[in-house]
Structure 1
Amino acid sequence: MTVIDIPEDSLFGLANLPYGVFSTPGKKPRVGVRVGESVVDLAVALGDDVFTQPRLNEFMAQGHARWVRVRQQITELVSGDVPDDAVHPVAEVTMHLPIEVADYVDFYASEHHASNLGRLFRPNAQPLMPNWKHLPVGYHGRSGTVVVSGTDIVRPNGQRKAPDEDAPTFGPCRRLDIEAELGFIVGTGSELGAAVHTADFATQVFGAVLVNDWSARDIQAWEYVPLGPFLGKSFATSISAWVVPLPALEAARVPTPVQDPKPLPYLQEGEPWGLDIDLAVSWNGHEVSRPPYREMYWSPAQMLAHLTVNGATSRTGDLYASGTISGPEKDQRGAFIELTWGGKEPVRIGEEERTFLQDGDEVTITATAPGTDGTRIGFGEVSGRILPATT
């Protein structure tokens, strides 16, 4: 039997216990939980076949009451002796996409981000569009191109037209960008025609992940009128390998910023689901931004309510993301188009001044939040390296 050592300053202590899908040499991917610097094989430790699956979907579909019971079982188990063959060092496992993504929706929930882009693209108009403070603006993404952290990202090709060009041309993206976001995974879905209420968020959403919604800004700028993002967004979205369960975020709950005008009834919350989560963005190993999630105008409960208010289904494995997380200060901007103000204000990366991503660049996003035991909990990381476009 093994007693797992959990350092006092670990971001993966008993207050966290995030789920993931891992494999070891010669064995298929299965569900595990991270404890300190170890991964516990839940199929072995708990003797439950649902954890032999190469994704979390089957477990999530069992519902909130089951999630609560299993979390308690895991807490009791890892506080004592764990079977030796259930414990693996984190450094010796391979992590996989933790869920089979059913649908993917991306929101635009940061007032600071939306205002900055409004000032960049519409300098002579109001920064926010008239609907922005009445509903969480979003778009449907492409679930098939959601990849796990560590997956290389191929620079996309597409049509792009610079302001000084008379006609569009085709070729590799010239203004490749990131968006530092938080994503939420639906554990149990809803039927067609039935809306999910904000009060149901905590029982229907399983947990949260870090998201990097890679963005081809030049392709996006040419295509998005009049229908919105398409090829500029659909080529890749990276998520972290560890899913932080929603109960682990209870201590991180804070009010959202003041919402004025008051949202319509279906968007109102009794106890708001703002979250005090600190992100950090590193570009080739250099930290360039620290976006604060607590500044997000719309909460994840409001996003889910809006997503389903028209009767659209939600399903086990649905992923919906917050949109770029940005704060009021320059060093809190979660996208390079903001950080460099459209490429006009380069940032220093080591000995270089940079605007958008070059081939070979690597971006890593991390995050921490207050834990229920007074410590801090972590999300791991979401990282990706840029490969040249295919010809």
Structure 2
Amino acid sequence: MAWAGRTWLFGLGCACVISLAAACSGAPAPTPTPTKTPLPVLSPTPSDTATATNTATITPTSTKRPTATSTPTPVLTPTRDPRVDPLTGLVVNDVALLQRRPILARIGNDPVIRPQSGLSQADIVYEDIMDGWWVTRLTAIFLAQDPVDIGPIRSARLVNIELANQYQGALVHSGASDQVRWLISQEKFVNLDEFFNPEPYYYLENQGWMGRLHTTAGAIRKYMKEKGLEADVKLRGFRFASEAPKGDAAAQVSIPYPAGSDVVFRYDAQTGQYLRWVAGAPHTDRNNGKQLGVSNVIVQFCEHQATDIVEDSNGATSIRIIMTGKGPAWLFRDGVVVKGFWERDGKYDLTRFVDASGKELALKPGQTWVEIVPPDYKIAYGAPG
């Protein structure tokens, strides 16, 4: 996203008035062009990298529940070993790595800026459809590992409010439209909007505006520590089991995201991972050149609502993705699919993935990608085509 909508130099109070007035009148809020001192152009400085040790088709609908407004009180699962990452189920060498705030990095997925940096080291990656319905964008969550380069960093959307509240994380992004930026400012999670917190960000050389803004996990963590924003967040986490579940064969999963972002995961029995392909090509990590491979793919069916929040100069409006309540969710692991549901009662609750009886589904230890799709999406799976 360009620098549009990123200046509140007249003061937060004026910005709020303008945004509220625009909402009442039905017209989009004006998006003045910010004036900003350019960030330095440099290459990332390597930092320590923690490595975790690994010891059919339906049309679903979602059911909304009231949104809780209570203060978050997440707790650890009593039976979890404190050395086990609650988001991957993997044992870490240093328990201190898990006694930190998760970093949620908003990463672009436009075809011209692939491959991105750092995705292979994320605990979890969420993918969602952008305004205009022409491309997807990613939110990568980093807890146990610290990539030396993360990016390209792009602007936030409404879905990031849902995700950052779940994980009590630090949202790393390059700004947002005026209305979304104001909504983010009202939340309790750490908001590292690059416009107001430029220190941990830098520009990558020889990249266009879509792909040039990057950061490092080390720089983000150093900045949070200096500002008193780092914290030992107690995450409930997910349930994990190494034993493969019973389910229908699903050696390939196809997700019909908009052209240029369509996704295929193909199960590799040798590694026990689903290899990711996007727009017909292997999806790789810029940091190591390797194709992305994941232990779990979760397709989460959520209602997508239209809004009047204008996101770009073409008039495309933001999408509100409903992530509280209950809806279908399909878990792909070990070459099979297990169909169940997602549940989330309130804004500070972590989503649970459960079977028909309400028992939490067991993820395979390792990285998970959550593909957020509308209820009417047709997900194809089975043998490779």
What's the TM-score, normalizing by structure 2?
Answer: 0.28
* Larger gyration radius, structure 1 or structure 2: 1
Considering fraction of residues, name the structure with more helix. Answer: 1
